[in-house]
């Protein structure tokens, strides 16, 4: 079977495509939106904070990119359905919205449990299936969620957050299986520790910050912009045969034990 030669110079380009980024008003989502726009995508910058979304759009347009701001509460099922209907012809969906309550299990209230599960897992479920169905009906697309190293390795105080991220990994695998025949790919990025508002509590504690930096093979935390390349890869044709996968961007955190470096001989 003949195959048209690939123009590798265009492998990551997104010209003429629309990409929806939910949670793009700050942090990893904002950096991802800028990176996607730089590759030629028309970026729909969606966030709970319209002000944050508009600030991201300003960053994109001042560099010659194309973007629009949309206010979206992912906990509102009707709003998610409307967004999927409106942007169902996009080529990709990226979503980063998440929250965490750092408490040991004995200290967790059920209200806190519901808050973390509803945003991290229930909303992800709704986004994946609503956009997945639209993409499937419109010839395919790429869905990129954000899990965490906590989907695989945990520590005290991370139980509920870790459970939601592990759940997201399994939802993505299932969606990859269910929508794959219609050309929809579903993957997740799993960051390590990233300097974002969500980790401000840790960053403020020098001992805690240093311990996390030493755990990674690279000896430091990630910057939000260091996740953007993974997003562009998964949203573009560069990953055309990648689905149901978890891409770790963790500085080697999950690759090594990290607590002791033995002598070489």
Q: What are phi and psi of 18, to 5 degrees?
A: -105, 135
Q: Does residue 221 contact residue 209 with C-beta atoms inside 8 Å?
A: yes
Burial class (CB in 10 A: 0-12, 13-18, 19+), 213: middle
**Residues in CB range of 22: below 8 A, 6 or more apart:** 29, 46, 47, 72, 74, 93, 94, 95, 96, 97, 127
Which residue among 8, 48, 108, 161 is the active-site one? 161
Which whole-number Å values give the CA distances from 198 to 20, 80, 201, 223, in the listed order? 22, 23, 8, 13
Told to judge if 161 belongs to the known catalytic residues of this protein, a careful annotator would answer: yes
Q: What tokens appear for 209 in the block? A: 């910050």
Q: For residue 151, count CB atoms less than 10 angstroms from its CB and return exposed for 0-12, middle for 13-18, buried for 19 or more.
A: buried
Q: Is the dihedral of CA 245, 69, 119, 87 positive or negative?
A: negative
Pick from 64, 35, 244: which is nearest to 145 by CA? 244
Q: How many angstroms separate the CA atoms of 80 and 169, rounded? A: 20
| Residues annotated catalytic, as ranges | 161
């Amino acid at each position: 079977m003949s195959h048209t030669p690939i123009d590798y110079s265009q492998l990551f380009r997104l010209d003429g495509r629309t990409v929806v980024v939910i949670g793009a008003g700050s942090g990893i989502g904002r950096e991802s939106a800028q990176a996607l726009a730089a590759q030629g995508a028309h970026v729909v910058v969606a966030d709970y904070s319209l002000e944050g979304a508009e600030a991201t759009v300003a960053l994109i347009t001042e560099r010659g990119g194309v973007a629009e701001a949309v206010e979206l509460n992912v906990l509102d099922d009707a709003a998610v359905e409307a967004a999927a209907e409106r942007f169902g012809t996009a080529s990709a969906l990226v979503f980063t919205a998440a929250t965490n309550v750092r408490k040991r299990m004995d200290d967790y209230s059920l209200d806190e449990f519901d808050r973390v599960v509803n945003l991290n897992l229930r909303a992800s479920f709704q986004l994946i299936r609503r956009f997945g169905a639209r993409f499937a009906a419109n010839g395919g697309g790429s869905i990129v969620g954000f899990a965490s190293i906590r989907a695989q390795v945990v520590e005290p105080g991370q139980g509920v957050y870790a459970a939601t991220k592990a759940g997201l990994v399994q939802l993505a695998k299932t969606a990859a299986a269910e929508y794959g025949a219609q050309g929809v790919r579903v993957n997740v990025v799993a960051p390590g520790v990233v300097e974002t508002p969500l980790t401000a509590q840790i960053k403020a504690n020098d001992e805690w910050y240093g311990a996390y930096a030493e755990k990674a093979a690279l000896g430091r935390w990630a910057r939000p912009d260091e996740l953007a390349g993974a997003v562009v890869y998964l949203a573009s044709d560069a990953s055309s045969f990648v689905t149901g996968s978890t891409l770790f961007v963790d500085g080697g955190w999950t690759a090594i034990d990290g607590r002791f470096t033995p002598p070489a001989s």
